[in-house]
Amino acid sequence: MAFGVAVLLQLVAPSPASAETVELNYRFYCAQCHGLTGRGGGPNATRHQPVEPRDFTSWAEMSILTDSEIILAIERGGKATAKSTLMPPFGRTLSGAEIVELKDYIRRLCKCTGPEAP
């Protein structure tokens, strides 16, 4: 799993931004859709959107996702994991390290691990 994550992160282009704290990155980039608490109720979760943003606090939703899938979705957008294109790609905005930090942050929100964990 770690090897797969490492391979994925090699594909992330260097981010022009200096590294921010994971809390600030989540607040600035992710909470617009996923909400400040991660429950999916950000200001972009409007009535006519075709899908709802994922609820990161849901064990049912998050425990079926691998770490690689979370990282890939952040880096390349929802389309890369067969999910909605409404999830934009942040691979040119965030560094590989920042994306991994966000993955860990999201895991803390659900207090869960993915299916590959022992």
Partner 1 sequence: MDYSSLRLPVLLFLSALVILSGCAQAPSPLAAIDSEELARGRAVFESKGCGGCHLIEPPATAGTISDRLLTLGPVLWYAGSKFKDSFLKDWLRAPVAIRPMEYNSLVSRSSEMHRRLAAREAVAVASFLMSLTGAGLEAPIAVSEVGSLGPKLFNYKGACYGCHLVRTPRGLKVGGLSGPSLLGARDRLRAEWIYDYLSKPEAYPVRAMPNYVGIMTDAELVVLSAYVAGLE
Binding range to partner 1, per CB under 8 A, among 10-18, 60-68, 97-105, 107-115? 10-18
Residues from 45 through 84 that contact partner 1 (CB under 8 A): 46, 48-49, 77, 84
32 forms part of the interface with partner 1 (CB under 8 A): yes
Which residue, 92 or 108, has its beta carbon nearer to partner 1?
A: 92
How much of the chain is in helix, strand and coil states, percent to nearest 5? 45, 0, 55
Residues from 80 through 109 that contact partner 1 (CB under 8 A): 84-93
Q: Which helix (H) or strand (E) holds 22?
A: helix 22-25
Task: Choose which of 8, 22, 29, 98 interacts with partner 1 (CB under 8 A).
Answer: 29
Tell me how far, at minimum, the Cβ of 18 lies from partner 1, in Å. Answer: 7
Encoding tokens for residue 116? 């590959």
* 58 within 8 A of 110, measured Cβ to Cβ: yes
Q: Which residues, including other chains, have CB under 8 Å from residue 105's CB and lie 6 or more apart?
A: 22, 23, 26
Through-space distance between the first and last CA atoms of the chain, rounded to whole angstroms: 11
Binding range to partner 1, per CB under 8 A, among 2-10, 30-38, 56-64, 100-108? 30-38
| Residue 67 half-sphere exposure toward CB, CA atoms < 13 A | 22
| Contacts with partner 1, residue ranges (CB under 8 A) | 13, 16-18, 20, 24-25, 27-29, 31-33, 35-36, 42-44, 46, 48-49, 77, 84-93
